[in-house]
Amino acid sequence: MASKYYAWHHGDVHYQKRGMGDPLVLVHNVYPGASLEEYEHNVDELARHFTVYALDLLGFGRIAAPRMKYTANLYTELIFDFLREEVEEPAHVMAAGLSCAYVTEVAAWRANLFKKLVFLCPRSEPTGLDIPRWVAPIRHFMLSTPAVANGYYEAMTGRHELTNFLRNNFHHPKHVTPELVDRLYENSRRPGAIHPYASLLTGYLDCHLLSALPKVENPILLVWGRHARPTPVEHSVRLTALARHSRLEVVENAGAWVHDEQSAAVNRLVVKYLNDELATAPPAETA
């Protein structure tokens, strides 16, 4: 894939572009060591049908993370600006985990930027610790100050902890390879990577997906691994109840990283859905 850089006002954003056809933007989940490489088993097949834009969220992936406060609003703004200024036409968007909430926020008030949405095990519950609001800035300062937090950060993003994180997200441990652990480990050691991690732990990256979802006019495909953790498939019930146009597909023998663990099945689903070969449920009647 061709590496490109989007000159955003908060910092340069790395992405890769490949293929021909309608644009399809891939947005990775948020966790230590995250990057667009999360979609390494999806891009080749999807690029046969679409122009794929695989995006590194600011603070993740290849570029050093600026020292700043990372928030859900920051990523909502980035997705909006990237679609408007770099893609420049309505696009399909596929997102995973917490990033589904950021895409939902944009789609709720700028439906014209999107065609169809694909959400992979979307996360709708808070990720930060349940702490008083006044404590959050103090905790964030402590966690994002290298002189204070380096030891804690290095321990929490060591190979052992990253292995446990991945095993919690995959159904079968065979998919948690040393190469995958090493990739997350190396990404988590890039300059500034501690800053988005501090925001994640403090809850600054939480976003209320459920409140914005009813406002989204675009069709949504929800893809869930049967054995997903920490977002079990039972969480899909409230999403399908709130979404205007949605379709749920549960993939067997997969966890939360369903697009990696069962990539062939997910790729087929996505291509069929975006090519109008799978229908969505009709919108719920309103009183």
Write out the two tokens for 230.
């920490």
Q: What is the pLDDT of residue 64?
A: 84
pLDDT digits (tens, 9 = 90+) for 227-283: 999 899 999 999 999 999 999 999 999 999 999 999 999 999 999 999 998 877 654
* Structure confidence by residue, pLDDT tens digits, 190-205: 998 999 998 898 888 9
* Residue 18, beta-bridge partner list: 52
Residue 58 and residue 65 in contact, taking contact as beta carbons nearer than 8 Å: yes
The pLDDT score that the predictor gives to residue 139 is: 56
pLDDT recorded at residue 43: 97
Q: Could you identify the residue written with the tokens 């597909």?
A: 249
Q: What is the CA radius of gyration of the chain?
A: 18
Angle between helices 159-169 and 178-188 in degrees, nearest 10: 120
Position 74, amino acid: L
Phi-psi region of 111 (alpha: psi -120 to 50; beta: other; left: phi over 0): alpha
Domains and CATH numbers, the chain: 2-126+206-274 (3.40.50.1820)
CA-CA-CA-CA torsion sign (233, 59, 160, 40)? positive
- Where does residue 121 rank: exposed (0-12), middle (13-18), buried (19+ CB within 10 A)? buried
- Chunked into runs of 10 residues, the chain (287 residues) has average pLDDT values of 89 95 97 96 97 97 89 97 97 97 96 98 72 53 59 84 96 96 95 90 89 96 95 93 95 97 97 89 46
Measured distance CA(47)–CA(209) in Å, rounded: 28
Q: Report the SS3 class of residue 228.
A: coil
Q: Are 68 and 89 contacting, i.e. CB atoms less than 8 angstroms apart?
A: no
DSSP state of 211: H
In the block, tokens 């501690």 appear at 194
Beta-carbon neighbour count of residue 226 at 10 Å?
Answer: 15
Residue 62: what pLDDT? 84
For 168, the 3-state DSSP assignment is helix
Q: Which residue has the tokens 């966890």?
A: 255
Which tokens hold the place of 263? 């990539």
What pLDDT score was predicted for residue 149? 59
Tell me which DSSP letter residue 111 carries: G
pLDDT value, residue 10: 94
**Distance between CA atoms of 205 and 14, rounded to whole angstroms?**
20
- Asked if 226 and 250 touch (Cβ cutoff 8 Å), the reply is yes
Can you list the alpha helix ranges (DSSP code H) found in 54-134?
72-81, 99-109
| DSSP β-bridge partners for residue 251 | 225
